[in-house]
Amino acid sequence: MRRIKLPFLKRKSRNTDQINNIVKSDNLPKHVAIIMDGNGRWANQRGLPRFAGHKEGMDNVKKIVKVANKHHVKVLTLYAFSTENWKRPKPEIDYLMKLPIEFLNTYLPELIEENVRVQTIGEFDVLPAHTKKAVQSAKDRTKDNNGLILNIALNYGSRFEIVQGIKEMVHDFDQKGESIDNLTEEMFSEYLYTKKLGDPDLLIRTSGEIRLSNFLLWQSAYTEFWFTDSFWPDFNEYLFEKALIDYQNRKRRYGGI
Ligand code: IPE
Ligand code: IPE
Ligand code: MG
């Protein structure tokens, strides 16, 4: 029999979903990565300039950090600026580079209270001085916290990371006079920004785009992916918990049976 989709039926099932939105305490992802996409389109839909979407997106970060912490996520990696985002118009780049400063000015006390540790991945040295200063200070001030690691991917590009890692590794092997034939996957992973963070268990992308956009290519070999049409500023605790529940219902096989 053909199923006819009626709007009121759709709404009913969504409400049921909401009632059942209960995250179990076992089998939670330790490392969640998010491609926070759709700020521009969120603003565009409202007739606002793109930067208004970025501002709204920034405020959303705190909400998601809180819910991730609530569910004992150990590492939350957020894609904030890619190595390809330098292609954007200068005023937008300038605004995006000010956002971490504003975010930390506004929320650092709360993050400290929640025992969050701020870290970054990406090429840090080439960031504007004011961005570096604010982020470095947040890293220093939270370095002894042992709660959730808020890992911001800032000027991050997976291919750059891999090539950089290869260069350093070849140099080290040369220095030690070690044969490259002895190289293992585990050894190479030590040359990536994520060496101490491990691979993401769950990767979320907002805004309806179904691609990685140069994010954690090596690390996501066996990551569970979760996509939503919601733009990042509309992504909320409910959707985050929905992603966790879906993750809990998946069977990770890693090639086994
Ligand atoms: C994500 O939103 C934020 C960054 C990439 C910095 P976008 O700015 O990519 O928003 P869309 O994809 O154009 O809607
Ligand atoms: C990915 O989003 C980068 C960030 C969210 C920081 P983009 O908006 O840059 O990705 P594309 O261009 O749509 O692939
Ligand atoms: Mg985008």
Q: For residue 61, what is the domain's CATH number?
A: 3.40.1180.10
Examine the pLDDT at 12 and tell me if it is beyond 80. Answer: no
Pocket-testing residue among 97, 213, 215, ligand 2, by greatest number of atoms within 8 A of Cβ: 213
R_g (Cα) of the chain, nearest Å: 20
Residue 121 falls inside a structural domain:
yes
Can you give the pTM of this predicted structure?
0.93
Rounded Cα distance between 228 and 41, Å, is: 14
Geometric angle at alpha carbon 81, from 70 and 55, rounded to 5°:
65
Residue 191 falls inside a structural domain:
no
Q: What is the pLDDT of residue 6?
A: 45
Q: What is the pLDDT of residue 11?
A: 44
Task: State pLDDT tens for residues 202-254.
Answer: 999 999 999 999 999 999 999 999 999 999 999 999 999 999 999 999 999 99
| Average pLDDT of the residues in 14-23 | 60
Residue 13's pLDDT band (boundaries 50, 70, 90)? Answer: very low
How far apart are the CA of 48 and the centre of ligand 2, in A? Answer: 19
Residue 18's pLDDT band (boundaries 50, 70, 90)? Answer: low
Residue 101 falls inside a structural domain:
yes
Average pLDDT value over all residues in the chain: 94
Residue 85 falls inside a structural domain:
yes
| Average pLDDT of the residues in 71-87 | 98
Number of domains in the chain: 1
Domain around 121: 29-159+198-248
Length of the chain: 257
Q: What is the pLDDT of residue 10?
A: 44
Examine the pLDDT at 187 and tell me if it is beyond 70. Answer: yes
Ligand index nearest the alpha carbon of residue 215 = 2
Residue 21's pLDDT band (boundaries 50, 70, 90)? Answer: confident
| Annotated catalytic residue, options 37, 60, 151, 155 | 37
Residue 183 falls inside a structural domain:
no
Smallest CA-to-CA distance from 149 within 180, 126, 178, 115 is with 115
Q: What is the pLDDT of residue 3?
A: 53
Give helix 90-113 / helix 129-142 axis angle, nearest 10°: 10
| Contact of 193 with 216, CB cutoff 8 Å | no
Residue 4 falls inside a structural domain:
no
Residue 176 falls inside a structural domain:
no
Active site residue 181: no
Residue 111 falls inside a structural domain:
yes
Smallest CA-to-CA distance from 69 within 250, 252, 244 is with 244
Note the Cα 226 to chain centre separation in Å: 12
